[in-house]
Structure 1
Amino acid sequence: MSSQVRGGTRWKRFAIVMVPSVAATAAVGIALAQGALAASFSVSGQSFKVSADELVGYDFIQYGSMAEGKDLNGKDTLNPVAVSGFSRATITNMCQSVVTPNVPVFGAISLELRAGTNAKKPVEATDLYLDVAQLKADALFEDIDIGVAAGDKNNPTKIQPGTEKKVNPFGFAQRARKATLSGVEQTAWATTAGTFKLSNLSLKLHKGVKECY
């Protein structure tokens, strides 16, 4: 944005305000090397929305955890989340959006990211973890176990590295060999993955509120 600076401060102020939005989206575009970087980061003060036509994941596990961070005023926050983990997954027609309100001069600014729009080239992820606050979808689970312990040694996908202190290893969890979610609409605080391959990636900024759903 430095090449577009006019009047000295407008774009600079805009960039400062947009940092949380970009940080919230960064987990989608950055690959975390497996085991090299634990996901013990502080979440941004903004949740984001994700929609998809279909998510197909393997070695599914879901358990309760907490997402710690700060709101846009710098105050500490603690958000309960349902963590969904997969050893590998494909996502068809994925959309991610985050809205930053009250940007000086512009008002609300929305960041929209789309990928995997071609069903033959979906988004591909490994060691995927989603910190979900709300989820709506049609779900099909294959070989499911409900009521297992989150830290059971037989869970193919383990508790997310770096977050073990936020999770009761004896707490309620469920697991399945395969999970297929259709018509996905979710609100999340964080997404991390060992690798995240985004085919047909498109990222846009919009004035006003423009969300995936």
Structure 2
Amino acid sequence: MLHRAGRTSWKRFARVLVPSVLAAAALGIGMAQGALAASFLISGQKFQVALDTLEVRGLSIYSTVDVTRQGTLVPVAVTGARRAEISGLCQSLVVPIPVLGPYTLRVTGGGRRHIEARNLFLDATTLTSGQANFNDLEIGVAAGAVSKGPISPGDRNSRFFDPNGFAQQADSALLRDVRFTTVAVSAATFNVPDLDLRVRQGRHECF
């Protein structure tokens, strides 16, 4: 009886957690191969992205609205980078499992060598940085006139993108101790040395 109960709990755990793990793994593989679509329906789950440093060449920050598969609207601020170098990546997602409690999917990389990304977009609900340095910064530019940094093609073609809306851009930027609460991340290429993905019982968030 105890053995069967254990097997049942594990199956319940797998049904809830495995889709999230597979989605995260697919996201990482798609980003690494540059095959991720420019726009996609989001799950709506918020996850954490922490970076020791984020060095950007061609920065854009603009607002839009992401959409879940169920049609829920999620306002976000998008940080875009034509090219980015990242050190100390941590990504975490907490998944509540019935009976077993919370489990954390945690991804790390870029500890010894920098991560390199091209056309990187982080759709965030919050962003903090211990120190942010911008070069040739422009604040208040119309979103449709952004030229220094990228605008995601999926966002530009979205009915929620306002070309007259508020945006900012910079030729380059260096941010330290960066913390994003995000609902989506996409990139044309995302090359991660020392990638490590783990699933652990309990809450083991990046921050």
Q: Which residue of 2 aligns with 1:112?
A: 106
Give CA-to-partner distance per residue, 1:104-141, whole Å, 9 cap, x none.
342111001000011xx111110101101101102111
Unaligned runs of at least 5 residues, structure 1: 1-5
Match of 2:118 among 111, 121, 126: 126
CA drift at 1:210: 0.9
Q: Which residue of 1 aligns with 2:194?
A: 200
Tell whether 2:88 aligns with 1:93: yes
Looking at structure 1, the residues matched to 140 and 180 of structure 2 have their Cα atoms a distance apart, in angstroms, of 23
Identity %: 41
Kindly report which structure 2 residues correspond to 1:7-18, keeping only aligned pairs within 5 A, or say none.
Answer: 9-18=8-17
Q: Which residue of 1 aligns with 2:41?
A: 42
Q: Which residue of 2 aligns with 1:147?
A: 140
**Structure 1 counterpart SS, 2:15:** helix
CA drift at 1:186: 1.3
Looking at structure 2, the residues matched to 25 and 144 of structure 1 have their Cα atoms a distance apart, in angstroms, of 35
Looking at structure 2, the residues matched to 21 and 80 of structure 1 have their Cα atoms a distance apart, in angstroms, of 25
Distance 1:24 1:134, change over 3 A: farther
Distance 1:131 1:77, change over 3 A: same
Q: Is the 8 A contact 1:28 1:191 kept in 2?
A: no
What do you get for the CA RMSD once the two structures are aligned? 2.2
Looking at structure 2, the residues matched to 17 and 37 of structure 1 have their Cα atoms a distance apart, in angstroms, of 24
Q: Which residue of 1 aligns with 2:57?
A: 58
CA drift at 1:168: 0.4
CA drift at 1:11: 3.9
CA drift at 1:184: 0.8
Amino acid at match of 2:142: A
Higher helix share: 2
CA drift at 1:39: 2.5
Looking at structure 2, the residues matched to 33 and 149 of structure 1 have their Cα atoms a distance apart, in angstroms, of 32
Looking at structure 2, the residues matched to 42 and 9 of structure 1 have their Cα atoms a distance apart, in angstroms, of 32
Q: Which residue of 2 aligns with 1:168?
A: 162
Q: Which residue of 2 aligns with 1:69?
A: 68
Give CA-to-partner distance per residue, 1:180-201, whole Å, 9 cap, x none.
1101111001000001101001
**Structure 2 counterpart SS, 1:162:** helix
**Structure 2 counterpart SS, 1:16:** helix
Q: Is the 8 A contact 1:24 1:46 kept in 2?
A: no
CA drift at 1:150: 0.8
CA drift at 1:22: 4.3
Distance 1:20 1:88, change over 3 A: same
Distance 1:11 1:205, change over 3 A: same
Q: Is the 8 A contact 1:57 1:88 kept in 2?
A: yes
Q: Is the 8 A contact 1:24 1:190 kept in 2?
A: no
